[in-house]
Amino acid sequence: MDSIIIAIDGQASTGKSTQAKKIAKYFNYNYRDSGAYYRAITLYLIQKNISSDKSIPETILNKIHVEQSFEEGSLKIDLNGIDVTHKIRGFKVSSYVSKYAKKQEIRNFVYRQLRISAESSSLVIDGRDIGTVVFPKATFKFFLLADPKIRAQRRHKQINDLSVKVESIEKEIKTRDNIDSTREIAPLKKADDAFEIDVSCLNIEEVFEKLIQKINLQ
């Protein structure tokens, strides 16, 4: 039987990865967080002071090894053998990631990883261009969006750090959406055949319900 691919694309901080993990656990599929690949690569490149202004040589990309392991509903990310699961969620990586994710050579690197993962198992993947570019023939495609203010408030609660203002999170989210959706290569946009869900007024369980319903109906 062919692998099932469930693509969950959408704006930043709309709960894509929370939903993708829940669905993967529910159906006993594997899970890949495409944004986490871009984040881990960004972490490596900023640690090495490699600017996003120039193209990144293959010799440097070949030194980056990112492993994702999904067990018991949670995802662990290793960068060259070091656990960076939490580090890649920090403000610095979040602020820089869209600049690196615009680059074709970095996108090709991530596409390769994702397509290799799909060879061996059914997958749930969240990102920006999974249903449009990486897996245009995905079995199911979803697109999540929400009001930026609500997304910022939810993210603020999640990070639980009073030194970070909700307004700066909102600004970072809007900037990221803008770069992601206006870039030339693989911009953030809904695939024509994706099912759109506005999650502004829905809680985690309500969104999950909608996704499962749609998957079970087809």
> Rule CB under 6 A: which residues touch ligand DC?
12, 34-35, 38-39, 97-98, 101, 127-130, 176, 180
Could you give phi then psi for residue 202, rounded to 5 degrees? -115, 145
CB of 217 to ligand DC, least distance (A): 26
CB of 185 to ligand DC, least distance (A): 9
Q: Sheet of 30-33: strands edge to edge? A: 30-33, 123-127, 5-10, 140-145, 195-198
CB of 211 to ligand DC, least distance (A): 17
What residues have CB less than 8 Å from 110, skipping those under 6 apart?
34, 37, 38, 41
CB of 34 to ligand DC, least distance (A): 4
35 vs 148, which CB is nearer to ligand DC? 35
How long a stretch of residues is the chain?
A: 218
19 vs 98, which CB is nearer to ligand DC? 98
1 vs 5, which CB is nearer to ligand DC? 5
43 vs 130, which CB is nearer to ligand DC? 130
CA-wise closest residue to 43 among 99, 112, 93: 93
Q: What share of the chain is helix, strand, coil (3-state, %, to 5)?
A: 50, 20, 30
CB of 180 to ligand DC, least distance (A): 5
CB of 111 to ligand DC, least distance (A): 9
Could you give phi then psi for residue 186, rounded to 5 degrees? 45, 55
What residues have CB less than 8 Å from 195, skipping those under 6 apart?
140, 141, 142, 143, 214
129 vs 170, which CB is nearer to ligand DC? 129
Give the integer Cα–Cα distance in Å for 141 and 143. Answer: 7
What residues have CB less than 8 Å from 208, skipping those under 6 apart?
19, 22, 23
34 vs 213, which CB is nearer to ligand DC? 34
